[in-house]
Chain A
Amino acid sequence: MINFNLFVLPFFLGLIYVVIAIGKSWYRWVRKLPAIDKVRFISGIRSPGQIFGALKEVFLEGLIHRRMWKQNPLLGYMHMSFALGWFLLIVFGNIESRFYSGTHLNAPYYPIFLKFFIHDRLVIFFEVFSVPGIFRFLMDFLLLFVLSGLVLALIKRQKSNWFGMKRTTAFQLTDIVSLGSLWLIFPMRLLAESYTAGYYGSGGGFLTQPLGNLLVWIVPFRDDFVAYGLWWGYSLVLGIFFITLPYSRYMHIPTEILLIFFRHFGIQPGKWYSSFSDVEVQACSRCGVCIDVCQLNEAGIHDSQAVYFIRGVRDKYVPEEISRKCLVCGRCQEACPVGISTDSLRLIKRRELVSGQASDFSYLAPRPGAASRFDEPPRQGEVAYFAGCMSHLTPSIIRAMKGIMEHAGVSFTHLDADKSICCGRPLKLAGKDRQANELIEFNKKLIRLTGAKTLVTSCPICYRVFREEYNIPIRIQHHTQFILDLVKTGKISFEGDYKKVAYHDPCDLGRGSGVYEAPRDLIGHFAISVPVSQEANKALCCGGSLGMFEASQGQRNTMTAGVLNILLQAQPDVLATACPLCKKTLEKQSPVAVKDIAELVYESLPKTVCCSVSGQSHPAKSYEDELISV
């Protein structure tokens, strides 16, 4: 018989269309990559190792949806049943069809509508242990697997909280058509296969055969036109899904595959909008996971979460303030199941917005005949200590650091004792990279003049930009890492009681720079850490972020109250952090004392040392003791 029927056309044409559309997009994205990334791409596709790595991730993320599983098992199962189930239906359908056609090359529609084309081949229902029987079982099982996901998807529309999601994104028209057809595909397949099996009395599996028999019994007129109509319907919904796919959110599926390959080839987001950014934007599935993790919700801000921002970029319209209304804390980036670099995208937009603005830092130029703008050249020292601008408002951190270094016998020079040139990151967060680079050059010169081997900073904001942008051939440490080294080399030791400490990860130190362990190890030497329900890479922003421009103080306060609730759950004696900005922000509203780890270290040094260094006048009663007694 001829394995063709007119009804395959909607599917077949749709398939050709979608393959061409995806191919075109992929080709365009690759072609438009910046030159350096193009080189990376070409060498990537020649490297079996990178290809294998990418394929493995495509399997794990695209089919199994590993990150979704971590997010919420129900959500993971729903996505997996759709993706993996459909994928296996195609794979096993192909193998099954070869068995019937006897050839390896079948038209693409043949396996899809196999049950129509083979309806006249009588097979007995109970023939379970034969090859066709096993396939019939398998195909029905996979169909059931996909349908179970569909049921969950329907439930999710009503009860998204069961899936760990409080909020989800709104649909656009193409999304509704696309989603509607997607949801109809498998029920239509079930109906078509079942009715066909029922009508011809054989060919179905454990699911389709009994259902088919039932359908034939229910439907008042018994005609093969019913089956035929159902096959048409199945083909039509497939066709509609394929044709609308490039214009709907489901384009994220093929785009994510390309993104995974890009990443495995070492391509990274740049400073400006590139083909890579475009791929990231299109790879956004609009799942809305980023909405739930965003702390702006607490502040009553519901229009600038990553998914909305990305939608704006995709639609080529981002209201200016949306790009500035973000903490740049990195929580959405951490949670994104596709791994989109949401913060980078936001900063790209900010750069575009301020590109016409100039800066004038000529006042930082060295005076005639002098090495720097400072009145005296910086002192020489083994360690250059850069407290950071913010630390000038937290003198106890500076006192602690000086005390610790003096105690450990470290030869250090305090780079910003009086005046300080900003590290540049605050400008970068405003999108002013060019201007930031000027400051960076001034600071680099200053650091070089000290001859130091290690640059230590108390500020995670500075630390991050020192590491990412300074390119200086000396060791760069945040003070928690530096102090931990002092402990490990036996230069400092502790005495005194062990307090209960809850540690707050500063965004730029934790997610921003990956420093999670050093502060925790350090605390373990002199205090008892209490668990915090959202910590390390899931830690909350204190609310004081320099990345945020469009929040009122009241909105910031609300976010701070939220993070304090989490931090105080285990009733710590003291809140520890490792950032002057976090400290100042939390301190404002915290009922318990907030201290930098450096301060806690300093207080836990053997007492004789502590007092001789500071000449402290009020050592008797500690702040938190008083608060606790209240």
Chain B
Amino acid sequence: MNRQVAVIGAGITGMTAAGALSELGIDVILLEKEEHTGGHVKNWDRLFPSRRPAKEVLDFTGKSMATGVDIRCGSAVESIGHNKGIFTIRPVKGEPVNAMSVVLATGYDLFDARKKEEYGYGIYDNVITSAELETIFSEGKKLTTHQGTTPQRIGIIHCVGSRDEKVGNLYCSKVCCVTGVKQAIEIREMLPGCEVFSFYMDLRMYDRNFEELYFEAQQKWGVSFIRGRLSECAENPDHSLVLKTEDTLTGRPLKMTVDMMILLVGFVPSPETVRIARMLGLSSGPDGFLLPADEHFHDNTTTIPGLFLAGAVKGPACIVNSMADARATAMQVKSYLNGEMLK
């Protein structure tokens, strides 16, 4: 099967790129290893900072793909290679795809919180990840402890698997801070009687309206912020949790009992990305994410002509940035196909 462009990965980045390419009149195939498109975003309830339903974004992007994009789900890439400007992709099912250009949009994985054993995920009942909390929200369920009671106090733990040399990830995952603030608000919305404490090292409210959301969390929702990184956690016989941190602003160790703990898990390079990159001989940075040809001038291209990178394969990125990057990539692909690529 011959196509002009193959986009690998139907998360928000891949979908946006495929949609934009098809709007530019390019013949594009979108390969996704899972059974549905939407990637991580389809597990989200509402998005920061505006709290627009994630579904709206997916629907919009889906519409842009409605005409022209050949979507193949359940088509993980078994092998990929290139020869004389033609890429050949063998998916696990269906016929091989030949394409003149490939957009790699295989994204990221969430950090496995079990690697941060002292936080008790997978050991204590009432420790969940931010992704699990988001799923609870999106399924419209009520947030309860594992024992079925309504939590009276919840601790939100920032930087789990990010900015942590001890798990080998020195980088910041960028989106967890604002996610934590958003989720703190949503918990307070759902359970007005529940206290919410955020434990942070720094709050990185880097983008438009993020700081305002933080402001709102304090002013309107009474979320408390404690500057201290969680160092360990123990479980009481009633399955509540004892957090140990330092309240660095008073300079004293702090112990707090909470009914639930939410871990804001960061980004890690997805094994799928790593595998495909290895087949193509792409290089990655010390953080494991892929490197574009140049961070400023060729941030979507690679050393292989015709192969493009988009979104979180290059490192943590929020939805807005991933979508913008996907559209930029589409333009670059078009230039490449027209033979006008800026070298």
Contact = CB atoms under 8 A, between A and B. Distances in A.
Whether chain B is bound by chain A comes out as yes
Interface of A: 392-396, 399, 418, 553, 557, 584, 587-589, 615-618, 623, 626, 630
The 3 closest A-B CB pairs, nearest first, are A630-B271, A393-B118, A617-B125
A589 B288 CA distance: 13
Interface residues of B, number: 21
A589 B168 contact: yes
| Main DSSP-derived SS at the B contact region | mixed
Nearest to A585: B166
A40 B112 CA distance: 59
A313 B120 CA distance: 47
Contacts of B124: 395
A12 to B, nearest CB: 67
Name the residue in B117, B124, B125, B232 with the highest tally of chain A Cβ atoms < 10 Å from its Cβ.
B117
A225 to B, nearest CB: 74
B123 interface: yes
Contacts of B166: 584, 588
A152 B111 CA distance: 56
A604 to B, nearest CB: 17
Nearest to A554: B165
A615 B114 CA distance: 17
Contacts of A626: 112
Contact of B114 (A588, A617, A623): A623
Given A393-B117, A587-B115, A623-B112, A615 B167 contact: no
22 contacts: A392-B232, A392-B234, A393-B117, A393-B118, A394-B117, A395-B120, A395-B123, A395-B124, A395-B233, A395-B234, A395-B235, A399-B123, A418-B234, A553-B165, A557-B168, A584-B117, A587-B115, A588-B167, A615-B146, A616-B125, A623-B112, A623-B114
Given A399-B123, A615-B125, A392 B115 contact: no
Contacts of A615: 125, 146, 239
A623 B165 CA distance: 21
Contacts of B235: 395
A379 to B, nearest CB: 14
A618 B146 CA distance: 11
Contact of A588 (B112, B125, B168): B168
Contact of A395 (B112, B117, B125, B146): B117
A238 to B, nearest CB: 60
B122 interface: yes
Contacts of A395: 117-118, 120, 123-124, 232-235
Contacts of A393: 117-118, 232
Nearest to A392: B232
Contacts of A557: 168
A588 B169 CA distance: 10
A418 B235 CA distance: 11
Interface string B250-276: 000000000000000000000100000
A588 B111 CA distance: 12
Contacts of B168: 557, 588-589
Contacts of B232: 392-393, 395
A543 B232 CA distance: 22
B118 A394 contact: yes
A617 B234 CA distance: 16
Nearest to B147: A615
A588 B115 CA distance: 7
Contacts of A618: 122
Contact of B117 (A396, A418, A630): A396
B33 to A, nearest CB: 12
B146 A587 contact: no
Contacts of A553: 165
Nearest to B271: A630
B135 to A, nearest CB: 14
B122 to A, nearest CB: 5
A416 B125 CA distance: 22
Contacts of A617: 125, 146
Nearest to A593: B114
Given A615-B239, A630-B271, A392 B125 contact: no
B244 to A, nearest CB: 9
Interface in B144-176: 146, 165-168
B127 to A, nearest CB: 9
Contacts of B118: 392-395
Contacts of B146: 615, 617
Interface in B104-128: 112, 114-115, 117-118, 120, 122-125
Contacts of A623: 112, 114, 122
B112 A396 contact: no
A418 B232 CA distance: 11
Nearest to A623: B114
B107 to A, nearest CB: 14
Nearest to B125: A617
A616 B234 CA distance: 15
Interface in B77-125: 112, 114-115, 117-118, 120, 122-125
Given A395-B232, A588-B168, A626-B112, 13 more contacts: A393-B118, A394-B117, A395-B118, A395-B120, A395-B234, A395-B235, A396-B122, A399-B123, A589-B168, A615-B146, A616-B125, A623-B114, A623-B122
Name the residue in A418, A617, A623 with the highest tally of chain B Cβ atoms < 10 Å from its Cβ.
A617
A270 B277 CA distance: 57
Contacts of A630: 271
A394 B235 CA distance: 13
Interface string B123-147: 1110000000000000000000010
B167 A396 contact: no
Interface in B198-230: none
A422 B64 CA distance: 63
Nearest to B109: A630
Name the residue in B122, B165, B167 with the highest tally of chain A Cβ atoms < 10 Å from its Cβ.
B122
Interface string B182-203: 0000000000000000000000
Interface in B314-336: none
Contacts of A394: 117-118
A420 B121 CA distance: 23
A587 B232 CA distance: 17
A459 B112 CA distance: 26
A629 to B, nearest CB: 9
Nearest to B164: A588
